Chain A
Amino acid sequence: MSDVISSSFVRRDLLAERPAPVKTTGFIGLMRTRLFNSPTNILLTILGALLLWFTIVPSVKFLMVDAVWSGQDRTACLAENAGFAVGACWPYIQAKLPQLIYGFYPEAERWRVDLTLLLAAVLLLPLLVPRLPAKGLNAGLFFAAFPVVAFFLLHGGGIKGFGLSWTAGLLQLFDESILGAGQALLSLSKTSAVAPLLWVVGSLVVLLGTAIQWLIFPLTWLRDYIQGMGRPVWADFAITAAIVGLIAFVLGGGVRTGGRALASSIGTLIGIAIVIKLMGLDHGGLPIVATNLWGGLLVTLVVSVTGIVTSLPIGIALALGRRSTIPLIRIFSIAFIEFWRGVPLITVLFFATYMLPLFLPGNFTVDGLVRALIGIALFTGAYQAENVRGGLAAIPRGQGEAAAALGLSWWKTTSLIVLPQALRHVIPNLVNSFISLFKDTSLVSIVALFDLLGSLRASFSDPKWSTPSTAFTGFAFAGIIYFIFCFGMSRYSLFVEHRLNAHRRN
């Protein structure tokens, strides 16, 4: 026992203090571990610092220190008047700001643009915050109602009829085209070698056209009757409301469960009626502002929002078509997607500008902006299709099989089970596509539309403001705007990605 005690050791004096461990956190630690820990790293740090010095300092000097902040015309921004080497010429931006935002939109009507942008912001922001409720209603308002309202706000004009007249008109157009094709076949059959066959087919087509003509006769008669009445829009609206309500009621399940569908359709229709009444669409609406007066940021936003809203349904349809087992639909979808993905956007815009008008009936002209929008929608739709397809492929087969085992039809399986999960998976990719769409909208300036970049370029040629620093100032301003939008979207996409992968983090 005593052996143990005697052999044990008890320290009686304190150890000398050791120096504190080298600090590896904070700014000092960062410098020690990541900046100056080896000769190579010191060299690299100096290199990086030099790079920053030669880019950041001149930029700040140009944008802030040497900038001219007020003035009436170019004389304020000339070095001999200012007395120093002039940097950015901000009065030029001040003078051109209305043009850069609204283009040539009439000054008295600019409140409409402001209202539309405000409406967009009010509808979009709650959609982006995941915690807020009523996403379905919000999305419906933004993706379906807002574009229509925005069209009547920005463009102006009213409507002459409603659902019934439009349906009747569309059907009539379709029918006329069938009849025309039949007549063409019949006239061909007089000269062709396979005359009897052509004659039979032509007669059949004409017969079909005539049958359809009789079939839609009640509709067209009703339309003509309504147009003869005092207030055609409201009469048409009432009849359309009755028909739509009835269809919703019957399809929703009749007396047993149809009440919900009926209520929602009535709610939608009341909303439409309020919009028509508020904007006076039944008697001409707001004064028309032709799209060739639109310009600046307005066109950039209109093109990108329309592209976003229209490309998604096209993309979903194409993605489903590409995964379909029906041969013709699959082949068509693949060919369509690969075609649009294989050509540059600028040729698509040329196509929409020069070729599309040739494909439409001679008496039918399409607005320049709408042509560009069609091209962009098809182009972006093909890219979105590939994104959506990625999401569809990520959903396990078991989901669809389970839905089928429950007796759901293909449509219900797709719309209730597969698509919602797939779309949620690919939100980051969709947002990334939207970023490139937003950047690509600048290309419309090549086909004579004045978006932000086009207006900027047009403003360079104003002799009133031509100074050596005008171009740099303009590019700095437009660059900041583009950067804010794109960077904001990319951060949002990162945020969503992070949220979606919350279960994978450790």
Chain B
Amino acid sequence: MSTEARKPPLQIALKIRRILGGKAGWNGVAVQFAFAAILGWIGYEIVSNARANLENQHIAAGFGFLRNNAGFDVNQTLISYTGSDTFLRVFVVGLLNTLVVSVVGIVFATVIGFIVALCRLSPNWLLSRVGEIYVEVIRNLPLLFQILFWYLAVLAALPNPRQSISLLGIAFLSNRGLVVPSPIGQGGLGPFLAVLALGIVASLVLRFHARRALFQEGRMIRIWPYVLGALFGLPLATMLVFGLPFTFELPQLRGFNFAGGSRIIPEFVALTVALSTYTAAFIAEIVRAGILSVHQGQMEAGSSLGLSRGATLRLIVVPQAMRVIVPPLTNQYLNLTKNSSLAVAIGYPDLVSVFAGTSLSQTGQAIEIIAMTMGVYLLISLLTSAVMSVYGWHVSRSLGA
């Protein structure tokens, strides 16, 4: 007669206690109740005070104000906007302005950051010192200081449009901003864009195919001539057939200002320069740390396998460095986006400036407006961290395999 192992007792009470109170047990439950009571009390106080204060100031709570007319102008809009549009449209205009300055800033910051990182890693002593000075000076000055410096000192010291600095005769920099040629779509634009999209898709498919062949059958396929052809040759050919996709309208000096071209307001220039140089200093440190984190032996192992220096870098060093670089790099991108809210100091019409600034002072709807503004930034950062945690999971899975 065999004895079967008895099932362990269910211990339902213990499990409930663990779920409700953590390791502290029933004490934990009591602490939670006290904590919830305090939170509830604070919440009650906040709600009742806010209600009483709003009543005193004769402000109607709620989001109804979003449909009212804004009645003020914004000096940079990506979508059509006039003073008679609603506050909701102001919100969208501000959000788009924030996004455009963030994206442009991110592009420049990445480029400058990588260049400075390469300078710092360079075997040339002088160049690495120059990179170090750049990083130290930029990192140890407040960002707002730098924004104001570019806006109040550098851009304000530029000459007026009549004596503006000409950049190769196509763009003009003056204290009224940067005037650049504006593209005007022509008949060939449609086919050009279509062929360009086709080229991009074709190159992606080619790359996918080549990697499959390499990993599954060990065949090396040379695809770069085809990719080049698809990305540049085909659009060029379309241009020859259908004519130019767009022409540039050059700015011309007329009287006291420029006619033609599109003007980039000085606030945008100052903000972009300050944000990208500031974030670049941090990106440079991240990239440098990432590249230094790859062990010297990896390089040696690569060359002992007979890989060329370029192939070692491309296939061994950079992928490992990227794993270290990408998470903090995303964090810096996020910081740049959040820092773009400093635009309010120089009057660039971003979300905080036009919505939490002008709209707030016009309507007095502090709670709704600030909650919406904070919500936007919170959403952006939560989305980024969700993407990053997926990335981290992906990396750790590929490492574990």
Interface residues of A (CB under 8 A from B): 30, 34-35, 41, 44-45, 47-49, 51-52, 177-178, 180-181, 184, 324-330, 332, 338-339, 341-344, 346-347, 350-351, 354-355, 357-362, 410, 435, 439-443, 445-446, 453, 457, 460, 468, 471-472, 475, 478-479, 482-483, 486-487, 490
Contacts and interface: CB of A to CB of B under 8 A. Distances in A.
Contacts of A49: 126
Interface string B23-49: 110001001100110010100111011
Contacts of B141: 439, 479, 482-483, 486
Interface residues of B, number: 64
Contact of B142 (A30, A344, A347, A453): A453
Nearest to A478: B145
B131 to A, nearest CB: 9
A344 B149 CA distance: 21
Interface stretch (B193-201, B215-223, B365-373): B365-373
Interface of A (DSSP majority class): helix
Given A325-B23, A347-B356, A347-B370, A45 B148 contact: no
Closest 9 CB pairs of A and B: A325-B22, A34-B125, A486-B140, A48-B126, A344-B338, A439-B142, A342-B381, A354-B366, A471-B153
Contacts of B152: 457, 460, 471, 475
Contacts of B367: 355, 358
21 contacts: A45-B126, A178-B41, A181-B44, A184-B48, A324-B22, A325-B24, A329-B31, A329-B32, A338-B382, A346-B341, A347-B373, A350-B352, A351-B370, A358-B50, A362-B53, A443-B144, A457-B148, A472-B157, A475-B145, A482-B140, A490-B140
Interface of B: 19-24, 28, 31-32, 35-36, 39, 41, 44-46, 48-50, 52-54, 56, 122-127, 129-130, 136-137, 139-145, 148-149, 152-153, 156-157, 338-339, 341-342, 344-345, 352, 356, 360, 366-367, 370, 373-374, 377-378, 381-382
B41 A359 contact: no
Best-buried of A48, A324, A327, A362 by chain B (most CB within 10 Å): A48
B145 A482 contact: yes
B124 A41 contact: yes
A48 B366 CA distance: 51
Contacts of B54: 358
A355 B366 CA distance: 6
A179 to B, nearest CB: 12
Given A34-B123, A44-B127, A325-B24, A332 B53 contact: no
Given A344-B341, A445-B345, 5 more contacts: A45-B127, A329-B32, A347-B352, A358-B367, A362-B53
A357 B136 CA distance: 40
A328 B377 contact: no
A471 B157 contact: yes
Contacts of A343: 338, 374, 377-378, 381
